[in-house]
Amino acid sequence: MAVPAFLLMGCAEVKSVLKDGYSAVAETVNPLTPRKKYAKELAVLPEMAQQWQQSYDTALKDSLQVALPYAERGYFRTNQSPAYSYDVVLQQGEMLQAAVATDSLSDKVFIDVLYRSDEGWEHFHANENAERSVILPALVSGTYKIIVQPELSLNSAFVFRMEKKPLYTFPVAGKGNKDIGSFWGMERDGGKRKHEGIDIFAKRGTPIVAVTDGSVTYTGEKGIGGKQVWLLDRNFGTHIYYAHLDKISVTDGVQVKTGDTLGFVGNTGNARTTAPHLHFGVYRGGAVNPLPFVYQVNAVAQKQLPYLYTTEKLLVKSVANLRLSPSSKSAVVGSALKGETVTLLGQSNEWLHVITGSGKRAFINKSLISISI
């Protein structure tokens, strides 16, 4: 899967940072993001600009967590100035896709993505001025924060969606997740070593394909890998390893496109006593778990989200748990008393994203809520 150039923000520093992980993540984005440019424009309205910035600062401290895929429907209201914040966990090799839709394409909505490093939240990516979405490859496993903030005084319904996909396509033609028979970290040679890849089982002669555009850096037969192909993804400095091939159909130095055939499934090398399969590995400095890079996620039906209350003020019908995530299994972060009024930010299925009178943001089940008078 080729990654659009805009993901790299058009600067040479980004590629070197991506190759090394997020060791210098704060330098990967132009400091003057679209949101910051807009904030500068608001300088002529200092009081409103301060309120708008405070909303972002509050969202930055927020810790609401959502699992992907996630969708929320709500209203940006002129009397609020909310910034919406969501923490998500991504594995190295997964790709985040987030998008927001409003009533008009001319509305400005800013999407910022941050990564939690040892030093705290580091800004990593932002949507371009004309974009309503971000696509971001996770090259380091960890927690990411997505902050969505509309322009000042925007009054519009919105739908916000987030999902994740693998960075690469599946490496064996016509096969998928169910054909993976051996995973990362399993014991080998009686526990003397760990499996540094995944094994995908298929009939001998099944095509093995390039999972991304890249350069073939080595082909040949040697060692426990038998007949093998090494592919370099130059976008991210990732080396991709295909082993135990029956036949190789490319040569050293050739440029390939996603889906091009590199060879065919076999059981050469130390796999000669096992059923034909592909050993697939990913190396970024050293070996990393390749499963998230290729694990195929089922497409989420774009069904209409449930009806959203048209009023922003809601009453709590009985003592209600406030939760960190939209799930009854989520951590409880507080409670709302019977008769208490909460402000509605959005709705995700049976869960409401609210702000309490004390300013706490949380999720509450809609069964505990009634429309305020």
Instruction: Compute the distance between CA of residue 19 and CA of residue 13 in angstroms, rounded to an integer.
Output: 10
Q: Render pLDDT for 211-225 as a digit per residue (tens, 0 to 9).
A: 999 999 999 999 999
Nearest 5°: phi and psi at 137? Answer: -75, 135
Q: How many CB atoms lie within 10 A of CB 55?
A: 20
Mean pLDDT, all residues of the chain: 86
CA distances from 160 to 132, 133, 198 (A): 10, 10, 34
Nearest to 6 by CA among 41, 39, 34, 42: 34
Site of tokens 């914040």? 85
Q: How many CB atoms lie within 10 A of CB 125?
A: 25
Give the pLDDT mean for 71-86.
Answer: 87
Q: Render pLDDT for 304-345 as a digit per residue (tens, 0 to 9).
A: 667 778 788 999 999 999 999 999 999 999 999 999 999 999
| pTM given for the model | 0.85
pLDDT for 27 beyond 80: no
pLDDT for 13 beyond 60: no
Instruction: Compute the distance between CA of residue 313 and CA of residue 233 in angstroms, rounded to an integer.
Output: 51
* Burial call 4-41: b when 16+ CB within 10 Å, e when fewer: eeebbbeeeebeebbbebbeebbebbeeebbbbebbee
Which string of DSSP letters, residue by residue, matches 73-123? EEEE-TT----EEEEEEE-TTEEEEEEEEES-TTS-EEEEEEEEETTEEEE
Q: Render pLDDT for 161-194 as a digit per residue (tens, 0 to 9).
A: 999 999 999 999 999 999 998 887 666 666 566 7
Amino acid, res. 344:
L
What the block records as the tokens of 364 is 């509450």
Amino acid, res. 122:
E
What the block records as the tokens of 298 is 């089922």
Q: Render pLDDT for 136-164 as a digit per residue (tens, 0 to 9).
A: 999 899 999 999 999 988 889 999 999 99
Q: Render pLDDT for 261-277 as a digit per residue (tens, 0 to 9).
A: 999 999 999 999 999 99
Domains and CATH numbers, the chain: 1-167 (2.60.120.1050), 177-294 (2.70.70.10), 306-373 (2.30.30.40)
Q: Would you state the pLDDT for residue 9?
A: 31
